Structure 1
Amino acid sequence: MSTDVDIEPALELLRRCGAEAMEHPGGTLLAHLLRVRQQLAAWGARPELQLAGLCHAFYGTDGFASALLPLERRAELVAAIGAEAEGIVYFYGACERATTYREPGAYRDRFTGEDRHPTPQEQRDFAELTAANELDLALVDEEFRRKHGAGLLELYTRMRPALSPAAWQACVEVLRGEGRTATA
């Protein structure tokens, strides 16, 4: 697990943009983002993916409309986490889930409407970040896990080639109900 990731510039920007005051399952958005980064670190993710995990909600997502920054201010996030990590954040936030979830390997940018085929690295980053994000929700919200667990396990089964062994194992444990909840 990499522990040498400097998250302070990202935390400062998250706080300035109101992430610690925004409600989210399991507490605040900031608490959720910190747990996602921590999960990615536990799976051995490289620093850029960990930073993207911490900042994945900056532009909102197809499932979480609240954006912390408009796209016109992407340079601020680049300054805090670097261009590669910000690129992962953009890719994740821009993903039109219906397209990608239906057919892993397909991708539609919800901001531009552009269709393209992600690179293998983009597919791996997207799969790992998606798993860390959704598993956090499943761990802190029993109702979410009951309602979406089977569908998510089906999704991660399709994404399995892009998931690390640690991420896949966590998906199986949490979504089959073998994992602990945050309140357990």
Structure 2
Amino acid sequence: MKIKETPLKDCYIIEPTIFEDERGYFFEKFNEKKFEELTGMNGHFVQDNISKSSYGVLRGLHLQKGEHAQAKLVSCLEGKVWDVAVDLRENSPSFGKWFGIELTAENKIQMYVPRGFGHGFSVLSETAVFSYKCDNFYNKESEGSVKFNDSDLMIDWKIDEKDMVLSEKDVNAPSFREKNF
């Protein structure tokens, strides 16, 4: 397992070491001890979520606030997504910056999104199955969000806005300046 820093403080890319032969492949998807040694971050997860979406679906930008804040370890199990993390921690040197990476079933790359970040993804393939490991339990009253097409963030979602499939919640999310985080 290789861990790479992103331009965002405390946000990491995890690349597995894959062992392949005529039978298929094997890799260690996550190792809490190695993760903590290499990053200094807590890697204990308590909830796993899976979503399936079709091309053009954009989910985000979402977060959990306060005592229910969540760090996430995300990956794409089927298909291809453009995954985006936004640092919403006001005291962070990377506050207001975003980072995106293509996660696919083939590359098996994961992204660790720390607490205090907004997160979202757009589906680039016909369908995609997406996995979220969370280090805290979901709490509806602690939901936060930022508008996906916020003019201050200027996120490139890798799909044309006319092709985006959005929830009402995401369409009506507050702007970055409204600080619903």
TM-score category, normalised to shorter length: under 0.3
RCO comparison, higher one (Cα < 8 Å, 6+)? 2
Give 1 or 2: higher helix fraction: 1
